[in-house]
Amino acid sequence: MDTLITALSIPSPSSGEWFIGPFPIRGYALAIILGIVAAIWIGERRWVARGGTAGDIQDLAIWAVPFGLVGGRLYHVATDHDLYFGAGRHAIDALYVWRGGLGVWGSIAFGAVGVIIGAKRKGIRLMPVLDAMAPGVLVAQAIGRWGNWFNQELFGRPTDLPWGLSVSDDTAINLGYAPGTTFHPTFLYECLWCLAGFALLVWADRRFRLGHGRVVALYIMIYTLGRGWIEMLRVDNVELKNVFGLRFNVWTSIVLFVAALIWFVISARRSPGREEEVYEPGRAPVEAPDAESSDPDVTLATREADDPTADTGHPQP
């Protein structure tokens, strides 16, 4: 039976790093980069459908991406500082982002700061652009989680389910488990949860014409709801592991879920509907091409038909 379970389990890659000549290609970094590209592409199309100018999201990403990387690393180092400081540790390792270790809460918080700075400089209203970008962030998180698979990290407790994750014997032994033990593939759970959340978020936005930050609030609620139960499966060693019986990140999910729910309710009461203007006064968007243009993406009808991620601002039946 154990042999059958091992045969059906999800294998881990033998290496998370490859070389093209002298240049290393790391699976973790590749997953992060692909996630960023997907988030920008989705956000751009949604922003244009909301009335924004093509290229705005790419410009904001110039601010958001580096801020997000720095924030994610700072959060990770702060909550897992024993990995980098103390006897037998090397503080310089805290700079080696490509080896893994980005805290999602720090990435989101600092990335949002980057968006705020970029939006202010471009005269973009903050809530509409955040609402346009939020679904793509879920896709970025779904793709980025595969970096943990490449690094054989952040998996869950042992399981004998057919989709259990096989890791190297050294990895299992370092965590105190016998060689051949299979674990919950929490990276896969979170990937699937984020993709399902993306579909739900896009549907809700199109169906109810969410505005004034409510897409962001719903994004936070969807993600934290999944992250809470997935976090409780994990066995990785972290600082602040147990606070009143729960891991620190579980408490973070609970607090953020409640805050986002309050935000959603207050926003709906104070500002029902959706913003008509996405730029600050005095900052007009670039003229849209004429409807007779040969470009197949210029009409709302075509955008609606060709891109299910875009919200044209028209209520759906």
What's the pLDDT score for residue 296? 37
pLDDT per position as a tens digit, 19-28 = 888 888 889 8
Q: Check residue 30 and give its pLDDT.
A: 93
Residue 295: per-residue pLDDT: 42
* Secondary structure class of 267 (helix, strand, coil): helix
Most confident stretch, 117-131, 172-186, 239-253 = 117-131
**Collapsed DSSP state (helix, strand, coil) of residue 181:** coil
Q: What is the rounded distance in angstroms from the CA atom of residue 6 to the CA atom of residue 71?
A: 38
pLDDT value, residue 314: 44
Question: How many degrees, rounded to 5, is the angle at CA 277 between CA 136 and CA 312?
Answer: 50
In one-letter notation, the amino acid at residue 262 is: I
Distances 55 to 41, 122, 274 between C-alpha atoms, Å:
10, 11, 22
Q: How far is residue 24's CA from residue 301's CA, in Å, rounded to a whole number?
A: 45
pLDDT score for 86: 72
Which contacts qualify for 90-96: CB closer than 8 Å, 24 or more apart? none
Mean pLDDT, the chain, whole residue set = 85
23-31's contacts with Cβ under 8 Å and 24+ in sequence apart are 26/98, 26/150, 27/146, 27/147, 27/149, 27/150, 27/151, 28/98, 28/99, 28/100, 28/147, 28/148, 28/150, 28/151, 29/97, 29/98, 29/147, 30/147, 31/143, 31/144, 31/145, 31/146, 31/147, 31/150
What are 284's two structure tokens? Answer: 């007009």
Each residue's pLDDT tens digit, 225-270: 999 999 989 887 655 556 667 888 888 899 999 999 999 999 999 9
Residue 156: predicted pLDDT:
93
pLDDT value of position 291: 39
Give 213-224 pLDDT, tens digit per residue.
999 999 999 999
pLDDT tens sequence across 44-99: 999 999 999 999 999 999 999 999 999 998 888 877 777 788 777 778 877 777 66
Instruction: Report whether 197 contacts 226 (CB < 8 A).
Output: yes
Output the pLDDT for position 294. 38
Residue 31 to residue 44: CA distance in whole angstroms: 20
pLDDT of residue 12: 92
